Amino acid sequence: MFKQMMQPYQRTDFQLIGEFLYVERCTGTVLIQTDRGEYRLKQGAQVIDPKLAGRLTVENLGGAGEIELISGYGRYVPPTDGQQVSVEKMPALEMAAGQSMNVAVTEQPAMQLAPNQAVNIEAMPPTVLAENQNVAVSALPKVQLATGQVVRVTATTPLLTKPTGGSELTATQLTVTANAASLAANTRRCHAVIKAKATNVAEVVLAGGFSLAAGEKQKIEATCELTFSGTDGDIIEIYEVVR
C-alpha cells in the first residue's frame, strides 16, 4: 500500500507487489510510470497486469493532498459506503463437537417459542427492572452461597414454617441442693417443659430471673444449660423433647 501527502508534480518511487493497482484517493490525476509504460489515473481507477510488480514512479498531477494506492493480487473490489446486507433465509447450521461461535447481537426482533421449546441462558448482563415491573420465577436450580453471602427474603404475607418435632421424650427430676440445680446443655433438645413440683415449699427461679411457683410449669425452647435456684429439697420436674 502507498499512502503519502504529495505536492503538485511531486514524484516518488513505490515498490509494487501484486498484479493490480487501485487509486483509493487522489486530488486529481496520478501519473504511474512503469517499465512497460505509463498510466494516468483518477480516483477509483484500477490497473490489472500480471507483470505489474516492480518499481513504479508516482507523480501527483493534481493539487496538494494525500495520495493513496492499494495493490495486491486478483482484482480489488472497493467497499461501497452505506451498503447493507439483509439475510432473509439461511439453511440450518450444525456445529461439530467442540466448536463454538461468538455472536454479538445488538438488536433483534421479538422471538416466540413454540410449545415445549426452551432456551438455556448461561450468562447475561445485569438487569434493572423499571418501576412496577416484576419477574415471576417458577423454578430455580440449586443455589449455593459463598461464605459471608446472605439472602434477604421479604414477604407481604406471613411466612409459615413447619414446627420442629422430636423423636424422643426424656424425663428428668432435679432436687435443689445447696440452693442450686442445673440441667446440662443438649444440642439434640427441641424444647423442654419445666414444672415446679406441687409440694415445693418455695419458688424455683430459672436462670436467675424467672420464678416458678409450686405446681407451675413453663415451656423453654433452648439447647443451653438450664440453671435453677431455690430451697434445698424442692424438686423440679423436666420433660425434654429431643431429636
CA dihedral 57, 61, 65, 68 (to 10 degrees): -40
| Model confidence at 77: pLDDT above 80 | yes
Host domain of residue 217:
168-242
CA distance 6 to 43: 15
User: How many percent of the chain have pLDDT more than 70?
Assistant: 91
Q: Domain with 234 in it: what CATH number?
A: 2.60.120.770
Domain boundary among 33, 49, 72: 72
Q: Do 194 and 227 touch, CB atoms closer than 8 A?
A: no
In a domain, 227, yes or no: yes
CB 213: neighbour CB atoms within 10 A?
Answer: 11
Q: Do 185 and 240 touch, CB atoms closer than 8 A?
A: no
Q: Which amino acid is at 137?
A: V
Q: 197-243 pLDDT, tens per residue? A: 999 999 999 988 889 999 999 999 889 999 999 999 999 999 999 98
In a domain, 91, yes or no: no
Domains: count for the chain:
2
Burial class (CB in 10 A: 0-12, 13-18, 19+), 113: exposed
Domain boundary among 49, 72, 95: 72
In a domain, 191, yes or no: yes
According to the 3-state scheme, what is the secondary structure of the chain?
CEEEEECCCCEEEEEECCCEEEEEECCCEEEEEECCEEEEEECCCEEECCCCCEEEEEEECCCCEEEEEEEECCCCCCCCCCCCCCCCCCCCCCCCCCCCCCCCCCCCCCCCCCCCCCCCCCCCCCCCCCCCCCCCCCCCCCCCCCCCCCCCCCCCCCCCCCCCCCCEEEEEEEECECCEEEECCCCCEEEEEEEECCCCCCCEEECCCEEECCCCEEEECCCCCEEEECCCCCEEEEEEEEC
Task: Name the nearest CA neighbour of 70 among 37, 10, 30, 35.
Answer: 30
In a domain, 84, yes or no: no
In a domain, 126, yes or no: no
pLDDT attached to residue 22: 93
In a domain, 41, yes or no: yes
In a domain, 157, yes or no: no
For the record, the C-alpha cell of 89 comes out as 433465509
Tell me the average pLDDT across 31-35.
90
pLDDT attached to residue 129: 84
Domain boundary among 72, 105, 121: 72
Tell me the average pLDDT across 107-131.
81
- Does the reported pTM lie above 0.75? no
Cross-sheet strand order for the sheet of 46-48: 2-6, 65-72, 20-25, 46-48
pLDDT attached to residue 85: 60
Beta-carbon contacts of residue 102 (< 8 Å; ≥ 6 apart) = none
In a domain, 8, yes or no: yes
Q: Domain with 61 in it: what CATH number?
A: 2.60.120.10
